[in-house]
């Protein structure tokens, strides 16, 4: 998601893309951050996004009731304070008196009422609508059983917003840092329709506002003078530059054309460490790298087959050789590191890789698949040297067992749009990063109602256990026990095929100030500054 800091009295022209595209940058004392971002956004509508690439940009453009600082710790956002009822069901937020939209109009409680209703309105088609199922009547509204006006949110007065939950939800506040719960400007949407997100039209309430969007080149944000904390924002502009080609991104970083990138080609790991030293940042990241298998498509409906494929994949090889130890082998969907929760691992996790492969071969032969009569399997992945190398390694690992793998690569926007539209596929690469530090952030993806359930996984037992966990919101130990039981069902079903736990791999210029490593890998531009 996406510098030269030039000083002069005339305008300078800066080269910002390897393809030779130029755009003019004011050359006087303007602080501009050229920020590499792994892909262009599919949308800048907070209610129609689902990826980290989009979240990075929206975190700069909008401000939810609460937000995250440079350490990924929760801080007040559009709300300056809040209270919670004794039963944990009613949250009352007091909005900032100086909260404004980028057009100068006030941010009000009605804006949040409109936005929460819009997220749940089935007409919106929001991928993250299920996030607000914790709100009373949220699921009923989203499934068309109730009207949006029946969602349990209301404006007590222009500066007081109230939300009633259907059960105590310990992660509710942190959940509100997610872009799907950000407010959108009703007047702008009603006047402009789908064009409201275009440069010159988009009205936002964050630290920056949208100035330019040139697909496959850059998205330019400029400081929002109406932001309540505008005087603390050091940057004048942020250019988000799509960097799907990681090798090209490295060259641009080295040339000073970008000062940050959120990924690297891992096959160059040793060289990059030697070349960039402390500018290459590594650390634990709450994320899972997994393959989704189409749950409702033959022959993948067979749990034995899914299990055999999962067992045959050598995760240690992927982590050590493909990812150069920048990732960790994974046997659960929920990564370690969430307080009070122990992930449920695949039952074959303790077996040696040789024993796994032997068992996988027996299952495949029983199902009629051999090298002479192979199983045909297609793996889809989004553009990245790392994803390509992972898919090739798996292709080679499965071939001796009688699985003939073909690979299909598309750009990131196309890849996720295809999955969101429930396209026809066998296996697809997915990465899931925690929206909040809770197991539900991962397990919720596998719920039948989730727009991010690309496998179309559907297990009544899993749903029952997730419902029990939600009902036990006021009892932390019982809730974690039910969540673990739900993950046990999911892992035994191989609803998803966990492969790796993420680590962040960032290139950060020595010129940047305010970058703070954290397990969410969140770095809002409002806290970043730059020196020469």
Question: Mind listing the pLDDT tens digit for each residue in 42-61?
Answer: 999 999 999 999 999 999 99
| 8: pLDDT strictly greater than 80 | no
Over residues 279-299, the mean pLDDT reads 95
pLDDT category at 62 given cuts 50, 70, 90 is very high
Structural domain boundaries of the chain?
12-243+509-530, 283-504
| 11: pLDDT strictly greater than 60 | no
Provide the pLDDT for residue 6.
Answer: 29
Provide the pLDDT for residue 28.
Answer: 55
Distance CA 68, CA 523 (A): 9
| 9: pLDDT strictly greater than 90 | no
CB contact at 8 A, 144 and 131: no
Q: How far is CA 41 from the centre of its chain?
A: 11
Residues 283-504, CATH architecture:
Roll (3.10)
pLDDT category at 474 given cuts 50, 70, 90 is confident
| 2: pLDDT strictly greater than 90 | no
| 127: pLDDT strictly greater than 50 | yes
* pLDDT above 70 coverage of the chain, percent: 95
Mean pLDDT, rounded, of the chain:
93
Which of these ranges, 13-22, 315-324, 440-449, 513-522, has the smallest mean pLDDT? 13-22
Helix axes 460-471, 476-493, angle to 10 degrees: 170
| 14: pLDDT strictly greater than 70 | no
pLDDT tens-digit map of 178-188? 999 999 999 99
Strands 427-433 and 280-293 come out as: antiparallel
Provide the pLDDT for residue 473.
Answer: 82
| 532: pLDDT strictly greater than 90 | no
pLDDT tens-digit map of 401-410? 999 999 999 9
pLDDT category at 418 given cuts 50, 70, 90 is very high
Over residues 415-433, the mean pLDDT reads 95
pTM, 2 dp: 0.87
Distance CA 78, CA 64 (A): 6
Provide the pLDDT for residue 168.
Answer: 94
Could you tell me the CA-to-CA distances from 134 to 90, 370, 466 in Å, in that order?
Answer: 12, 47, 12
Beta strands in 296-452 (DSSP E): 328-329, 375-382, 403-410, 427-433
**What's the CATH fold of domain 12-243+509-530?**
D-Maltodextrin-Binding Protein; domain 2 (3.40.190)
Provide the pLDDT for residue 23.
Answer: 41
| 438: pLDDT strictly greater than 70 | yes
Q: How far is CA 105 from the centre of its chain?
A: 30
Q: Assign 3-class secondary structure to 192-255.
A: HHHHHHCCCCCCCCCCEEEEEEECCCEEEEEECCCCCCHHHCCCCEEEEEECCCHHHHHHHHHC
Tell me, yes or no, if the two domains 12-243+509-530 and 283-504 fold the same way: no
Question: Based on C-alpha coordinates, what's the Rg of the chain?
Answer: 23
Tell me how far apart the terminal alpha carbons of the chain are, to the nearest angstrom. Answer: 23
Closest CA to 241 of 3, 442, 486, 74: 3
Provide the pLDDT for residue 124.
Answer: 97
Over residues 502-521, the mean pLDDT reads 96
Distance CA 461, CA 491 (A): 13
101 three-state secondary structure:
coil
| 4: pLDDT strictly greater than 80 | no
pLDDT category at 228 given cuts 50, 70, 90 is very high
Beta strands in 309-398 (DSSP E): 328-329, 375-382
| 7: pLDDT strictly greater than 50 | no
Provide the pLDDT for residue 20.
Answer: 37
Over residues 80-101, the mean pLDDT reads 97
Which of these ranges, 9-13, 251-255, 471-475, 484-488, has the smallest mean pLDDT? 9-13
Distance CA 326, CA 507 (A): 14
């Amino acid at each position: 998601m996406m510098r030269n800091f030039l000083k002069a009295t005339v305008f300078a022209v800066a080269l910002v893309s390897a393809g030779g595209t130029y755009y003019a940058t004011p050359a006087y004392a303007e602080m501009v951050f050229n920020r590499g971002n792994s892909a262009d956004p599919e949308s800048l509508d907070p209610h129609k996004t689902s990826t980290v690439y989009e979240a990075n940009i929206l975190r700069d453009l909008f401000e939810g009731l609460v937000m995250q600082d440079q350490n990924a710790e929760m801080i007040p956002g559009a709300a300056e304070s809040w209270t919670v009822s004794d039963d944990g069901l009613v949250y009352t937020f007091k909005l900032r008196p100086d909260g404004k939209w980028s057009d100068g109009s006030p941010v009000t409680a009605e804006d949040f009422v409109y936005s929460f209703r819009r997220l749940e309105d089935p007409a919106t088609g929001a991928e993250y609508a299920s996030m607000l199922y914790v709100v009373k009547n949220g699921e009923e509204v989203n499934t068309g059983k109730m009207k949006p006006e029946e969602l349990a949110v209301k404006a007590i007065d222009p500066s007081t917003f109230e939300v009633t939950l259907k059960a105590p939800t310990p992660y509710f506040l942190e959940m509100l840092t997610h872009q799907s719960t950000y407010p959108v400007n009703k007047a702008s949407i009603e006047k402009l329709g789908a064009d409201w997100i275009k440069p010159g039209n988009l009205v936002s309430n964050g630290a920056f506002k949208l100035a330019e969007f040139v697909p496959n080149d850059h998205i330019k944000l400029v400081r929002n003078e109406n932001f309540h904390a505008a005087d603390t924002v050091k940057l004048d502009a942020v250019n988000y530059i799509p960097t799907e080609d990681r090798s090209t991104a490295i060259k641009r970083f080295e040339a000073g054309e970008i000062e940050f990138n959120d990924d690297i080609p891992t096959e160059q790991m040793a060289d990059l460490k030697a070349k960039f030293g402390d500018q290459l940042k590594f650390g634990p990241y709450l994320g899972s790298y997994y393959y989704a298998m189409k749950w409702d498509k033959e022959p993948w409906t067979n749990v034995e087959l899914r299990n055999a494929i999962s067992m045959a994949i050598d995760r240690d090889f992927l982590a050590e050789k493909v990812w150069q130890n920048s990732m960790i082998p994974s046997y659960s969907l929920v990564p370690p590191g969430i307080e009070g929760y122990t992930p449920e691992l695949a039952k074959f996790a303790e077996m040696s890789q040789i024993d796994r492969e032997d068992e996988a071969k027996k299952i495949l032969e029983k199902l009629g698949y051999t090298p002479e009569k192979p199983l045909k399997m297609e793996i889809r992945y989004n553009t990245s040297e790392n994803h390509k190398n992972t898919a090739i390694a798996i292709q080679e690992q499965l071939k001796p067992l009688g699985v003939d793998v073909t690979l299909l690569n598309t750009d990131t926007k196309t890849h996720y749009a295809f999955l969101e539209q429930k396209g026809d596929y066998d296996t697809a690469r997915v990465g899931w990063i925690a929206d909040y530090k809770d197991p539900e952030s991962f397990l919720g993806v596998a719920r039948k109602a989730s727009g991010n359930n690309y496998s179309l996984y559907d297990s009544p037992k899993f749903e029952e256990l997730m419902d029990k966990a939600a009902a036990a919101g006021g009892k932390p130990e019982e809730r974690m026990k039910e969540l673990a039981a739900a993950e046990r069902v999911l892992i035994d079903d191989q609803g998803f095929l966990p492969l790796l736990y993420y680590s962040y791999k960032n290139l950060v210029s020595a010129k940047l100030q305010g970058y703070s490593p954290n397990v969410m890998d969140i770095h809002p531009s409002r806290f970043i500054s730059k020196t020469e």
